[in-house]
Copies of this chain bind each other. A is one copy, B any other.
Amino acid sequence: MLKSTNIKWEDSSIVRNDYEIRNGHRGVVVWFTGLSGSGKSTIAKAVLHKLFNDNKQVTLLDGDNIRHGLCGDLGFEEVDRSENIRRVGEVANLFYQTGMIVLCTFISPFIKDRQSVRQKFSEGSFCEVHIKCDINICKKRDPKGLYAKVAEGKISSFTGISSPYEEPTNPEILIMSDKFSVEICAEQVIKHLKLSGII
């Protein structure tokens, strides 16, 4: 529901293209989706390091970090998850408009939510990365101890267990994080960015 009225669009005068020329690469939103424990953050951080060290303008928006601040008012029901993803999409767009490579790591279990973020961007400016990992391996890794809490009945509405995860049907990148090392997975992303002319 759009409630904001009497708004004139302000042209910031310095536009994305100006930033991209100066940065020496294009901006893009790289959206990592997958189960908790699938390796989204770990792989994205490896990508962040590689790109930063290669002097690219890059940032990481992380599900957990965002929920401490911008989305601290939201819970984990479907409507809150959707609003969470909507806001992140808007923030990703603000960073994208400064020509940055914006790495976003969010479980983002619903196709419609990911689709609505994608629709904010032009073809080639949104890159969906499915971090695919057997849920039993996610459970074993359990880096945040969440699967354990679920087993103890302490968390309701947990993706992959009591709440659905809708796999991407046609992601730009499919990464089998239960079969390859973090290094190889990160390189897969970098390679895609090179092949698609982003960097």
Taking a contact as CB atoms closer than 8 A, the residue among B7, B55, B70, B73 that contacts A91 in the complex is B70
Cα-based distance from A69 to B61 in the complex (angstroms): 17
CB distance from A79 to the nearest CB of B (A): 12
Chain A: interface size category = 35 or more
Cα-based distance from A146 to B74 in the complex (angstroms): 33
**CB nearest to A58 among chain B residues:** B14
- Whether A64 contacts B7 in the complex (CB less than 8 A), given A48-B12, A87-B70, A91-B94, comes out as yes
Taking a contact as CB atoms closer than 8 A, the residue among B7, B64, B100 that contacts A8 in the complex is B64
Taking a contact as CB atoms closer than 8 A, the residue among B4, B48, B94, B100 that contacts A13 in the complex is B48
Contacts of A155 in B (CB 8 A): 6
Q: A12 to B91, Cβ gap below 8 A?
A: no
Q: A68 to B146, Cβ gap below 8 A?
A: no
Show the binding face of A for B, using Cβ within 8 Å. Answer: 1-4, 6-10, 12-14, 18, 22, 41, 45, 48-49, 52, 55, 57, 59-62, 64-65, 67-76, 80, 87, 90-91, 93-95, 97-98, 100, 144, 146, 149, 155
For the complex of A and B, list the 9 residue pairs with the smallest distance between their C-beta atoms, beginning with the closest: A70-B90, A4-B67, A69-B90, A3-B75, A10-B62, A10-B64, A12-B60, A7-B64, A2-B72
